[in-house]
Structure 1
Amino acid sequence: MNASYGTLIAPRELAQHLGEADWRIFDCRHDLTNPDFGRAAYARGHLPGAQFLHIDEDLSGAMSGTNGRHPLPEPDALAARLGRLGVANDMQVVAYDDAGGMFAARLWWLMRWLGHHRVAVLDGGLVGWCEAGQALTPAVAAFPATTYDFSLKPTTVDADFVQGHLRDDRMTLIDARSPDRFRGENETLDPVGGHIPGARNRFFRDNLTARGSFRQASVLREEFARLLGGQDPRRVVHQCGSGVTACHNLLAMESAGLSGSRLYPGSWSEWCANLHRPVATGAED
């Protein structure tokens, strides 16, 4: 088997593997306010050999009104979609976007949830790829269909688990949203502003340098260790607005060698849909 990447891959490293039979690349560009953006951007130009996956249509399940804005897809449906796109269990998968990994990290986490560890996010994304002098193409790639087999990993918790462990040292809850939304200010995506009581705020963009690449692993490790205050990473639960950018913090911790944390997929959008659940506002309490 060729080189295996499990967290991040640099543009020049990915360029060396273009066209290899056991590599699959996915464009995950998206705009929360314009669902058609990603597909249109992909059509204009993308990495050679890349296929497109839509955050809402492919990487999320059906909304019920109480399960959040981006509920997890049914694993059978996701596996079938991957198989139709030519992904086999032993292949290297690479995800990218143009937002610092904001959406690509969702595919990274979903693949690991399915039990696939040979999956990485393109560090620096589309911008980093172009800055490295690499080309884009409008050509649409197609590969022979496969059968993708999965084995779900216990990497999620639900709202009942979170509510049962509020202010409990058996759970450290990390919210990936911007500080203002965490405080309950400038909320435009969800009907209620605020955060889950006891949560700690780590804005996912703090994982990135000014150029949009992930910070060095040593820096991430130091920052997350300070945030955790000595807590075991395996007790960490990540959330955000809808379970998408929380995956960015999961990826950052994993790249820093802090493994074992879990995702609350419903996140704030599910939590606040039930008016009986407690809500906090302001800075961390």
Structure 2
Amino acid sequence: MTYETIAQVEDLRAMLARGADVLVLDCEFDLGDPDRGRALYLEAHLPGARYLDLELDLSGEVTGSNGRHPLPARTAFAATMRGFGLKSGQQVIAYDGNGGIYAARLWWMLRWLGHGAVAVLDGGRQAWGDADLPSESGEPGPVREGDFMLGEPLVGQPITAREVLANIGTGELQVIDARDAQRFAGAPHPLDTVSGHIPGASNRFYRDNYDANGRLKKPAELAEAFGTALNGKTPEQAVLQCGSGVTACHNLLAMEVAGLKGGRLYPGSWSEWTSDPSRPVER
């Protein structure tokens, strides 16, 4: 069986027990303390897991006008993943301790490379610990380079700031902002140089995608919530954004689980949008 959206702790435990060919990747990160993710990984991680850093591995070069976490080139990211041992068709299970937001970024990016066998561990690090399953610590041993090769993207082409700007006039697409309601409304926030949101955007806070136990909500519940955020548009007309193109991927994952496929990512998101003062802002 191949997992392409989420996998449960029991699924991963069974895979590891039978020696399945699975690549487990720890995506822990802290925007306020960029070194903390690796420190937590070294302290304890799932058996065999390797660590991917949001800013070093899952982002490209920051120029000051392309957002805080721009996408790397597809070819460059494919090389990165080969360096982590990724093989063509290999099952990938990604996790973190933050509700899956950083793991979802990896999920989307691997699908962007054409790799479909990737899933986010539902409940992440906490669910693994709650099941009283073993962990490891320290640096892993060397890895043999994988044979992964780029394929046709399994996601829609990322949206550009120019396309988002044009859409303000046409209204053909529905932008959905994953930030919390206060930031969306215009409350100051240390991560934002300008407060507010893209004109015409709706708001779906990514944390509302999971329950009190950190597990993703049921598909029907997610479908109802995103149906409201779509404002009558189809899933294919959705543009998902956030502060820097990370938590928007969690909304894309939740939509996929809900059967609402075809939404596209605006990778630059609010941090790119506000780097140009000529772009309009709504509060």
TM-score category by the smaller chain? over 0.9
Aligned-pair RMSD on alpha carbons? 1.3
| 1:160 and 2:162 aligned | yes
Q: 1:141 to 1:124 in 2, by over 3 A?
A: farther
Which residue of structure 2 lines up, in the alignment, with residue 150 of structure 1? 150
Which residue of structure 1 lines up, in the alignment, with residue 10 of structure 2? 12
Unmatched runs of 5 consecutive residues or more in structure 1: none
User: What does residue range 1-285 of structure 1 map to in structure 2 within 5 Å?
Assistant: 3-18=1-16, 20-138=19-137, 140-153=140-153, 154-166=156-168, 168-281=170-283
CA distance in 1, matches of 2:198, 2:171: 15
SS in 2 for 1:30: coil
1:161 deviates by 0.5
Instruction: Provide, for residues 140-167 of structure 1, a one-character-per-residue CA deviation record: whole Å limited to 9, x for no partner.
Output: 2543212321135243110000000115
Unmatched runs of 5 consecutive residues or more in structure 2: none
Residue range with higher mean Cα deviation, 30-39 or 179-188: 179-188
Question: What's the TM-score, normalizing by structure 2?
Answer: 0.95
Q: 1:95 to 1:141 in 2, by over 3 A?
A: farther
Paired residue type of 1:195: H
CA distance in 1, matches of 2:72, 2:130: 34
Paired residue type of 2:81: L
Question: What's the TM-score, normalizing by structure 1?
Answer: 0.95
1:186 deviates by 2.9
Number of residues of Structure 1 aligned to a counterpart in Structure 2: 279
CA distance in 2, matches of 1:37, 1:71: 21
SS in 1 for 2:175: strand
SS in 1 for 2:249: helix
Instruction: Provide, for residues 78-134 of structure 1, a one-character-per-residue CA deviation record: whole Å limited to 9, x for no partner.
Output: 111111111012100111000001111000000011111110000001001111221
Paired residue type of 1:148: F
Identity %: 47
